[in-house]
């Protein structure tokens, strides 16, 4: 009579069992109604990983979306940029960029 001995159950639900009769052993790797037979345990583990990778798709990781910066500028009734937004823009500019801006203003 053939004895069936469970050897390993994977986290994904697949299993490896050892079928032996007398001095002969065969390893059965099964997952989701798909089975493959191997002569040794190493091959059986490899085949089980192979079966499970084809049957189960890993869940996608969520992409981390950076918080959106405030980009809306507010204008006064007279058409000028609000003082808060002017200060915000000036804080982002380097000293060199401010000098270039002043020179361009004088030429115009």
Question: How many C-alpha atoms does 89 have within 13 Å on its Cβ side?
Answer: 13
Q: Which residues are CB-neighbours of 95 under 8 A, at least 6 positions away?
A: none
Which residue's structure tokens are 């000098």? 99
| Confidence label for 101 from pLDDT (cuts 50, 70 and 90) | low
The one-character DSSP state at 13 is S
Burial class of residue 2, CB neighbours in 10 A (0-12, 13-18, 19+): exposed
* Global pTM exceeds 0.85: no
**pLDDT confidence of residue 60:** 66
**pLDDT confidence of residue 42:** 92
Compute the average pLDDT of residues 40-52. 91
Strand partners, 20: 3, 25
């Amino acid at each position: 009579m053939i004895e069936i001995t469970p050897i390993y159950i994977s986290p994904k639900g697949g299993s490896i069992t050892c079928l032996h009769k007398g001095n002969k052993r065969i390893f059965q790797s099964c997952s989701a109604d798909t089975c493959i037979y191997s002569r040794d345990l190493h091959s059986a583990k490899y085949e089980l990983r192979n079966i499970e990778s084809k049957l189960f798709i890993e869940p996608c990781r969520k992409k981390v979306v950076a918080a959106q910066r405030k980009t809306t500028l507010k204008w006064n009734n007279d058409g000028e940029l609000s003082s808060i937004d002017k200060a915000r823009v000036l804080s982002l500019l380097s000293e060199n960029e401010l000098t270039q801006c002043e020179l361009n203003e004088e030429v115009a």
